[in-house]
Structure 1
Amino acid sequence: MADFPTTARVVIIGGGAVGVSALYHLAKAGWTDCVLLEKNELTSGSTWHAAGNVPTFSASWSLMNMQRYSTELYRGLAAEVDYPMNYHVTGSLRLAHSRERMREFQRAKGMGRYQGMDIDVIGLDEIKGRYPFIETHELEGALYDPNDGDIDPAQLTQALAKGARDMGAKIIRFCPVTGVRRENGEWVIATAQGEIRCEYVVNATGYRAQEVGRMFGREVPMMVMSHQYILFEEIPELAAWSKEAGQKLPLLRDVDTSYYLRQEKNGMNLGPYERNCRAHWATADDPMPEDFSFQLYPDDLERLEWYLDDAVRRVPILGTAGLSKVINGPIPYAPDGNPLIGPMPGVPNAFEACVFTFGIAQAGGAGKVLAEWMTEGHTEWDMWSCDPRRFTSFAAAPDYAVAKGMEIYGNEYAIHFPRHAWPAGRDRKLSPIHDRMKKLGAQFAANNGWERATWFAQAGDDTSEESTQTFRRSGPWEKRIREECLAVRDAAGILDLPGFSRFRLQGPGARAWLSTLITGVVPKPSRIGLGYFADDAGRIVTEMSIMAIDEDFFFLITAAVAQWHDFEWLQKHLPEGTEITLQDVTENFSCQILSGPNSRAILAELTDADLSKPWLTHQSAQVAGRWCQLVRVSFAGELGWEIHTKVDDTAAIFDAVWEAGQKHGLKPFGMFALDSLRLEKGYRAWKGDLSTDYTVLQGGLERFVKWDKPEFKGKTALQNEKQQGASKRFVTLVVDAGDCDAPYMSTLWHDGKVVGETTSGGFGYRVDKSIALGMIRADLAVPGTMVHVEIFGENFPAVVQEDQPLWDPKNERLRA
């Protein structure tokens, strides 16, 4: 082809709504030398058969931001690019059958209002007023979102495409990509029409993302579901009502039953997310076809009968309409139901914008986020919820991805409760002492695939999945968590903590290089300390424990889920041609936390290590004749040690510690107790309290900033912020809460104004108080200030605490 481009700054593979939105937003950001390649016609994948619903609702702060941005973009897009679009902003009703669902809606309302949206929770009379054809049996109320609606997916995609082309970007249709290779620091994209050299590449290929990912040596964690929706013929009463009212009915979602019902012209569109769902292209007997453009699966209406019957009972006029058409098409699912947006793990200058389950609602926001990532190196909102690096290699195993995808689909509208663990795809990574924990009554939850004990049940405790489906603090676990916390306070507790991400860093200049990346001081040999990594804007990228073995030899320890994210951050900043080596040794080690006033007495029976070495030191030692690293730190805030072991020695050391500890009151404790204990110490949790939504100074971490270092990443931005004063400050709040503690992103109020948000919350059993950590307007971050925390729609008084921990404020117990 004469006009086929041979070079570009960015090549986007995939011409659905998301890929085209990425092209549009890159062009808007000034990167116009971009080319989009589509194997067929634009929209030929999931976009063409998408229902086109555009909700803002989400239980995730970042997804809500992204969807809100989409609605704002779509409202003005037709005029901006001069392309006609059918976009109906009808509002929507989400129905609640239970008190817990109403609580979820109140939380979403609080988040939405914080983001400037007029979301409301309404009662039965108002539901009927907004939707006259509805029956309100078994309902508690509804969430009303005035910004919800539906859009024509093809028109949306073409409008974005026109906008991108008008700014100079190129779209080449009927141009399948046949391969990619890395050459001289560039990508070479091979197509049926020729090769394109480019600096960056984006996989935006929807349900074909795995196939394209493999060209880069990347296994994308995903699967494909069959999703059906039914179109009904015209309903005379609906036509008459619409004509008189001059509008369409609000989009209806019966989330507890699991379907949406939408007015389509003067008929209706019913889309269930059925429990008896079906995966496609998941086995060797059912391979993905070479081309499935503009194609559908055969109808499978038997699966939907129950949902259809329920919808007819809810909206009886639906029962008078004939069925006109069934759409049954492929929708991709990641193992947690969120899309993949961001850097392609382990692949330089490659990005993903794929596996969108709600691609039309999220396309606008996804394009914005991806363009920011590529052009600025970071995003406005912390997007960990969608970061491809949140999964590691285990998640791409087909049986795992299919099991999780089907579980998510069948529970698409499910409430995500804080103590609930989803049962599918479990036992992927087990601690060497998993069986011992199980015998002690451990209840487990997975963290980056690692099974960790959350609490320890005793005979007669209700451990059913149903018991965990509540936002309330009280449940069968509460008594046990209290006992576990008090055992750590009064005697000793042991926590099995497999899966800490662990990187070995060594070589000439390792210390000097690490010092340029963290805001503070690199610890001296035999010491351990926290290192905070900032981006160029001074925002918190991550926190790692830095264990100095020698002058230029370190172990960097970080959260289990941060494994790929943090390793890549370090790798990306290694100087070229360096002798420094960086290895991920996560799988080689395990860890136990022994904490409490009796922990020294327990260890003294098992080791000749120097147990008088102070807090924040570490030493190689023999415990029960096996090597371990004894690290004098405690996330629980008591005298204690982390016992880092080789995997094969973990069980022997645990058995010895357990046996020696019995006469000292040693008890097992789980992650729920650890969360309570760390809140009392004001210790931050990764991607809640510590995220790129906040700078290091806003996060209350100035004591970890060494201003007189010649240079470190983020220094200029942080110096500027220090000069001008931070707009927000991190605080600990004691909340006079009811039966629920403050969840993440609960709104803080003062004098009728929104002044901040919580970043985590829970109950402290040593201080016997409900605690929230959060960010507040800087002038209110004064001890004794009274604010209100909005918890599930109700405001509870809270008091800003002194800038020191609630428990053991002078760290005397830690240093004992």
Structure 2
Amino acid sequence: MSEIPSRARVVIIGGGVVGVSGLYHLAKAGWTDCVLLEKNELTSGSTWHAAGNVPTFSSSWSLMNMQRYSTELYKRLGTEVDYPMNYHVTGSLRLAHTDERMLEFQRVKGMGRYQGMDIDVLGVDEIKGRYPFLEIHDLKGALYDPNDGDIDPAQLTQALAKGARDMGAKIIRFCPVTSARRDGGEWVISTEKGDIRCEFVVNAAGYRAQEVGRMFGREVPMAVMSHQYILFDEIPELAAWSRENGGKLPLLRDVDSSYYLRQEKTGMNLGPYERNCRAHWNTTADPMPADFSFQLYPDDLDRLEWYLNDAVERVPILGTAGLSKVINGPIPYAPDGNPLIGPMPGVPNAFEACVFTFGIAQGGGAGKVLAEWIIEGQTEWDMWSCDPRRYTNYTDPQYCVDKALEIYGNEYAIHFPKHMWLAARDRKLSAIHDRTKALGGQFGPFNGWERANWYAQPGDDTSEHSTETFSRSGPWQRRVKEECLAVRDHAGILDLPGFSRFKIEGPGTRQWLLGLTTGLVPKPGRIGLAYFADPKGRIVTEMSVMSVDDDEFVLITAAVAQWHDREWLEKHLPKGSEITITDVTEQFSCQILTGPASRGILASVSAANLSKGWLTHQMTEIAGKECRIIRVSFAGELGWELHSRVEDTPAVFDAIWKAGQPFGLRPFGMFALDSLRLEKGYRAWKGDLSTDYTILQGGLDRFVKWEKEDFVGKGALAAEKQAGVSKRFATLTVDAGDYDAPYMSTIWLGDTIVGETTSGGYGHRVGKSIALGMLRSDLHESGTRLEIEIFGQRHAATVHADEPLWDPQNERIRA
């Protein structure tokens, strides 16, 4: 029996592939005084029954980075740690039944190329050369990934464990954790073998992560799904092919039918993601057992019948094989299907590396990311897609189950840019949701808040199916254009519930903010954009800073950034400071009133001084209700944000709506706002603004005040400025046809990739397709001609550098 040490620098709870990878990467970085605790044997959770597929494919840039890193690590790991591993790099084929699927493949091919991977898209006539047993009559093509394959999950985990132990880290098996508490700035982790004190703790407990999370007062947003795969006996034709060719068939995924089919020795392994899926352990009648180590659920083959029949039609030799075994085990799902890696929300020096649906494929990269979070407090790649703080207080247990069922049943679905998933909606509603809906609002969730994306008119197709396209020519497009032109020519009103807002007050608040942001802090009565850099000078976040008094401010930020930005502020509070941070998000709502007629509308319902200039704010009354009006507009027109208490918002809206009818006021939604902000070159958080870029690369030089004595990131930014900024943010117009440039489309100069897009869409005021992106610095000059690759086709593009396409001198905003 292993003896538990009394102290460690880091304690990791959970001995699956992710937890062990985290230990390995910490040790490799020199943090050898770390301990992993496992309640049973290593791999006893989801790892032991995992199929072991190792794809690099993802439509997410950060997940692709993580999975690519895993494949690179696994190729060398056995040699590095001197441990035998069965890792078969077979390549894979993903089949396309539709033109839209082929577009998705082209996009992923471009992303993969940018990351150095030779992913290719095949025509129908090229498929059988890779997979001779396939029926191809109804296919459009396929994506071929040469880096894909499969690995033995137990061997992988043991190899990582050996590597970690050889460097001095400790693994204590059969050691259940019973509780956790804070004591003197440290964690005390209690186990059945005794207590261990540590500086940092990690929840890597897989499908038991919720149970462990509750020890820290954290309700982990997750559900547990039943995933089955079927193993088949030897197929003589397959055995003969393998002998002749000296290897295995590529791993096959029929993503439109929703299953994978993999050669397993001389038989096959069929793994469906069935629509009629099942969640487990989510009710009092079906509680999670105290121990489910190395156990499986009973077979449930009726759920798989359709998928088995489809696979036999696709690969007829499968129909000759006998069924050998069914594996039906638990796998965890977060509400969006991505894992949780990063700071545990609201808990000091605690991290999560759990809820991995594809833990084998992502385990290597996850260990790298986790170690970076712990050691450096930041990661090489922007990992917002996996950050636990991307969820806030709306992820109740039923939400998690409903979303897990939806995500599992659509595991291989295409993620279309305008498509809104239907499960677990209406968690947070605006005070005027009924009014917005009555006007035709078609909603999407933003941090759980329902906001209108666009406004339909009678006869418009508002079905979910209508949004399943990459083309801009969906049923919303005509209405979005009308909304944009109404804002341009008259006025529009947009309901924006859920803006994250923090009241910050106390002696020294102004000086503290000066040291935390790159720029100046506005004077009382004014508001300004503030950028927060990390110590490497990279973009952490953007907030609007509203000065109420010298030591009283309100900071306003994106809805989804609520927990992320609050923690950033709290983390940087000086010890013993009298400054207080109060989250008042739930108390207030916001509406945007914008357009050339907005002053006239507001004047008819308010006695405010509307001649006050841009970036000012004042209190006024509308319909007898107190309202703070702020002279800003993300739409790039004359306008105000109207901030009122939630309970007062209906009266404010009704008064504005009634007063606005003679002026041509109409509602506009988030799709229109996105179009309008692109024309102004305004950045969006975690797209254009992310830690993948520095403040200077982001084109935010004017928000850097070098004369300040110091601020977070100043040293790194000064060094970057002196050395020369390698890439620069730019606006580009694109001859794009029917498809606007999606996130991470590659930008070309001849045969050289010179940048990437960070967002794209159509500008209705300028009548052009627009892309925002990052360019090699020497090409950052207006008029430079480049090309942007959009779904496999290159389109001519023109650089506009830092100059907005619409109202470049801000004359309309300042009117």
CA distance in 1, matches of 2:692, 2:479: 34
Map residues 400-411 of structure 1 onto 2, 5 A cutoff.
Answer: 400-411=399-410
Match of 1:632 in 2: 631
Is residue 2:249 matched to residue 1:242? Answer: no
CA distance in 2, matches of 1:161, 1:64: 24
Match of 2:227 in 1: 227
Map residues 643-792 of structure 1 onto 2, 5 A cutoff.
Answer: 643-792=642-791
Q: Is the 8 A contact 2:209 2:355 kept in 1?
A: yes
Match of 1:24 in 2: 24
Q: Is the 8 A contact 2:24 2:161 kept in 1?
A: yes
Match of 2:266 in 1: 266
Q: Is the 8 A contact 2:729 2:801 kept in 1?
A: no
Q: Is the 8 A contact 1:746 1:789 kept in 2?
A: yes
CA distance in 2, matches of 1:802, 1:720: 23
Which residue identity does 1:631 align to in structure 2?
I
Match of 2:495 in 1: 496
Q: How many residue pairs were aligned?
A: 815
Deviations 1:710-738 (A, max 9, x none): 00000000000010111000000010101
Superposed displacement of residue 432, structure 1: 0.2
Which residue identity does 1:562 align to in structure 2?
A
Superposed displacement of residue 804, structure 1: 1.6
Match of 1:149 in 2: 149
Is residue 2:277 matched to residue 1:277? Answer: yes
Which residue identity does 2:37 align to in structure 1?
L
Superposed displacement of residue 751, structure 1: 1.9
Match of 1:159 in 2: 159
Match of 2:173 in 1: 173
CA distance in 1, matches of 2:62, 2:31: 25
Provide structure 1 residue ranges, at least 5 long, that are not aligned to the other structure. none
* Cα RMSD for the two superposed structures: 0.6
CA distance in 1, matches of 2:20, 2:731: 44
CA distance in 1, matches of 2:515, 2:757: 31
Match of 2:208 in 1: 208
Superposed displacement of residue 429, structure 1: 0.1
**Structure 1 length normalisation: TM-score?**
1.00
Q: Is the 8 A contact 1:38 1:172 kept in 2?
A: yes
Superposed displacement of residue 623, structure 1: 1.0
Match of 2:482 in 1: 483
Match of 1:132 in 2: 132
Q: Is the 8 A contact 2:589 2:644 kept in 1?
A: yes
Match of 1:97 in 2: 97
Which residue identity does 1:405 align to in structure 2?
A
Superposed displacement of residue 3, structure 1: 3.7
CA distance in 2, matches of 1:475, 1:427: 24
Match of 2:331 in 1: 331
Equivalent residue of 2:187, what SS? strand
Equivalent residue of 1:519, what SS? coil
CA distance in 1, matches of 2:754, 2:516: 32
Is residue 2:311 matched to residue 1:311? Answer: yes
Q: Is the 8 A contact 2:747 2:786 kept in 1?
A: yes
Deviations 1:434-493 (A, max 9, x none): 000000000000010000000000000000101000000001101000000000000000
CA distance in 2, matches of 1:791, 1:4: 55
Map residues 283-302 of structure 1 onto 2, 5 A cutoff.
Answer: 283-302=283-302
Map residues 6-45 of structure 1 onto 2, 5 A cutoff.
Answer: 6-45=6-45
Equivalent residue of 1:815, what SS? coil
Match of 2:568 in 1: 569
Equivalent residue of 1:369, what SS? helix
CA distance in 2, matches of 1:72, 1:660: 62
Superposed displacement of residue 125, structure 1: 1.7
Equivalent residue of 2:813, what SS? helix
Which residue identity does 2:62 align to in structure 1?
S
Equivalent residue of 1:118, what SS? coil
Provide structure 2 residue ranges, at least 5 long, that are not aligned to the other structure. none
CA distance in 1, matches of 2:445, 2:256: 25
Q: Is the 8 A contact 1:66 1:364 kept in 2?
A: yes
Which residue identity does 2:589 align to in structure 1?
S
Match of 1:555 in 2: 554
Which residue identity does 2:763 align to in structure 1?
G
Match of 1:58 in 2: 58
CA distance in 1, matches of 2:582, 2:29: 36
Q: Is the 8 A contact 1:219 1:393 kept in 2?
A: no
Equivalent residue of 1:75, what SS? helix
CA distance in 1, matches of 2:600, 2:394: 40
Which residue identity does 2:123 align to in structure 1?
G
Superposed displacement of residue 802, structure 1: 4.3
Q: Determine what percentage of the aligned residue pairs are the same residue.
A: 78
Q: Is the 8 A contact 1:96 1:255 kept in 2?
A: yes
Deviations 1:274-297 (A, max 9, x none): 000000001010000000000000
Q: Is the 8 A contact 2:342 2:373 kept in 1?
A: yes
Give 4+ residue runs of structure 1 displaced > 3 Å after superposition. Answer: none
Map residues 358-373 of structure 1 onto 2, 5 A cutoff.
Answer: 358-373=358-373
CA distance in 2, matches of 1:802, 1:557: 28
Superposed displacement of residue 137, structure 1: 2.5
CA distance in 2, matches of 1:352, 1:656: 47
Match of 2:618 in 1: 619
Superposed displacement of residue 2, structure 1: 8.0
Equivalent residue of 2:654, what SS? helix
Superposed displacement of residue 230, structure 1: 0.1
Equivalent residue of 1:49, what SS? coil
CA distance change for structure 1 residues 2 and 39 in 2, over 3 Å: closer, same or farther?
closer
Q: Which moved more, 1:361-370 or 1:1-10?
A: 1-10
Deviations 1:623-650 (A, max 9, x none): 1111010000000000000000100000
CA distance in 1, matches of 2:40, 2:393: 31
Q: Is the 8 A contact 1:176 1:192 kept in 2?
A: yes
Which residue identity does 1:763 align to in structure 2?
Y
Q: Is the 8 A contact 2:341 2:354 kept in 1?
A: yes
Match of 2:799 in 1: 800
Match of 2:218 in 1: 218
Deviations 1:388-413 (A, max 9, x none): 00000211x11100000000000000
Match of 1:521 in 2: 520
Equivalent residue of 2:49, what SS? coil
CA distance in 2, matches of 1:739, 1:648: 43
Deviations 1:213-251 (A, max 9, x none): 000000000000000000000000000000001110000
Q: Is the 8 A contact 2:687 2:758 kept in 1?
A: yes
Deviations 1:46-103 (A, max 9, x none): 0000000000000000000000000000000000000000000000000000000000
Q: Is the 8 A contact 2:732 2:801 kept in 1?
A: no
Superposed displacement of residue 376, structure 1: 1.2
Q: Is the 8 A contact 2:780 2:801 kept in 1?
A: no
Deviations 1:356-404 (A, max 9, x none): 0000000000000010111111100000000000000211x11100000
Superposed displacement of residue 743, structure 1: 0.4
Superposed displacement of residue 319, structure 1: 0.2
Equivalent residue of 1:630, what SS? strand
CA distance in 2, matches of 1:471, 1:305: 32
Match of 1:83 in 2: 83
Which residue identity does 1:261 align to in structure 2?
L
Map residues 184-203 of structure 1 onto 2, 5 A cutoff.
Answer: 184-203=184-203
CA distance in 2, matches of 1:330, 1:801: 52
Q: Is the 8 A contact 1:593 1:642 kept in 2?
A: yes
CA distance in 2, matches of 1:803, 1:536: 25
Which residue identity does 2:747 align to in structure 1?
L
Map residues 105-124 of structure 1 onto 2, 5 A cutoff.
Answer: 105-124=105-124
Which residue identity does 1:207 align to in structure 2?
Y
Which residue identity does 2:357 align to in structure 1?
T
CA distance in 2, matches of 1:740, 1:523: 41
Equivalent residue of 1:444, what SS? strand
Which residue identity does 2:548 align to in structure 1?
I
Superposed displacement of residue 4, structure 1: 2.2
